[in-house]
Amino acid sequence: MHNKSITALAAGLRAGDYSSVELTQYFLDRIQRLDTGLNSFITVCAEEALAAARAADKKLQAGEAGPLTGIPIAHKDIFCTKGVRTTCGSRMLESFISPYDATVVARLKAAGAVSLGKTNMDEFAMGSSNETSYYGPVRNPWDTGTVPGGSSGGSAACVAARLAPAATGTDTGGSIRQPAALCGITGLKPTYGRVSRYGMIAFASSLDQAGPMTTSAADAAIMLQAMAGFDGRDSTSAEQPVPDYSSGLQDDLTGLKIGLPREYFGEGLDAAVARSIEEAIGEYKKLGAEVVEISLPNTHLAVPTYYVVAPAECSSNLSRFDGVRYGHRCEDPKDLEDLYKRSRAEGFGDEVQRRILIGTYALSAGYYDAYYLKAQQVRQLISDDFKRAFGQVDLIMGPTAPESGFRIGEKADDPVSMYLSDIYTIAVNLAGLPGISIPVAPAAGSPVGLQIIGNYFAEARLLNVAHRLQMATDYHQAAPAGI
């Protein structure tokens, strides 16, 4: 049951092979049995899930079911969920019960999906390994001694371990695609503005984007169909029509022009990962695609640019957590200054504090022009690189991450090395483009992700190209041992 796709599960529900209540209980039992060794969930909502499943069964019986009706999913614990604890993986929001649903949550709920609970994540989405969570690290189900990637590591691990057929994630600099690569699943970061950010607790507002995490591109298409669309409550939401993402999955790839950036295949890329990517590119050639080398010359500036822009925006967004209105409040403050200092020092972990300090410095008088303004100028250069590239090719491909999952604790004391885990994904966020990571041939038994980058609002094409590879190979069907 747990290895079935969303489409197959939905077909079984409509045929009456099982009810949504039975399906939901099945996954709740798996979470209870298997997640103690993974720590992929912060909050499991068994009662709420079963109530939603009963409502879904009534719709199924009435013949009112859609593709997601009665399908259990999980939400990253960054999405506000009415009546459910929403922590962002932080002590700061340990007791916060959201009074409303994020748009992503509301739309999936309206589509009939059943929420099993909230998944673990790097604190306030700041991390590439899911080790900064106040609730402890998530473990990669392929090797529990290794990280699952981050910040959406809980969602990636729970889908990889088949604890849920699908989950939501967010991607600020690679936080859907990188954990998808390390956990051997499919992760889609849509175009900036394609999916509403309303109710998604902000890290870096000009970079954050929500997307689906699934076992396959076909399932990602179904999830994105429910999630995407304009939202007047989000000032950055794009007023763009939402196509039928599933209708073009089988489209022919003959004549597709794929660009391989030479900057993605140089120093720093693990040799075994490179071989897996080259094998996948070879499959695309068999499917009729043409491959050409291109250049994205400002790629080497993406990481330093991101680590000025993102901390600056995080410094601004997280200033609201001051111990006064909501969030963690220290005990017996002596005065207002003591309240601010101790509440924030106690509520935020080391990585969050590090980024707040960097961002505050970059925005301070005398340094704004030298750092933040300069970073925004370089950001435009990076975006221009992609524009020129898409004048030559239809899609860009390369590795999602430079290496497979590293050991838990291996990079904990080396933040710069950790930041380089997102070296191939960050530029996509800076430019606001869509990108997807899909599993390809493993390297030494560890999952490897192929990243496919498209032009603005080209999610349907990305899903088509990803799906065709998944029809030609079976890497997306592989599951960790014991799962």
The residues annotated with a catalytic role in the active site are: 76, 151, 175
Look at phi and psi of residue 270 and say left if phi exceeds 0, alpha if psi is from -120 to 50, else beta.
beta
Q: Which residue has the tokens 């932080």?
A: 90
Q: Give every strand in the sheet of 435-443, ordered side by side.
A: 41-44, 114-119, 72-76, 166-171, 209-214, 186-189, 435-443, 446-453, 395-399, 257-261, 290-294
Q: How far apart are CA 127 and CA 131, in angstroms?
A: 7
Q: What 3 state SS string does the chain have? A: CCCCCHHHHHHHHHHCCCCHHHHHHHHHHHHHHHHHHCCCEEEECHHHHHHHHHHHHHHHHCCCCCCCCCCEEEEECCECCCCCECCCCCHHHCCCECCCCCHHHHHHHHCCCEEEEEECCCHHHCCCCCCCCCCCCCCECCECCECCCCCCHHHHHHHHCCCCCEEEEEECCCCCHHHHHHHCCEEEECCCCCECCCCECCCCCCCCEEEEEECCHHHHHHHHHHHECCCCCCCCCCCCCCCCCCCCCCCCCCCCEEEEEHHHCCCCCCHHHHHHHHHHHHHHHHCCCEEEEECCCCHHHHHHHHHHHHHHHHHHHHHHCCCCCCCCCCCCCCCHHHHHHHHHHHHCCHHHHHHHHHHHHHHCCCCHHHHHHHHHHHHHHHHHHHHHHCCCCCEEEEECCCCCCCECCCCCCCHHHHHHHHCCCHHHHHHCCCEEEEEEEEECCEEEEEEEECCCCCHHHHHHHHHHHHHHCCHHHCCCCCC
Dig out the tokens for 479 from the structure: 């599951």
Report the C-alpha gap between 125 and 75 in whole angstroms: 14
Handedness of CA 326, 330, 334, 338 (dihedral sign): negative
N- to C-terminal Cα distance for the chain?
12
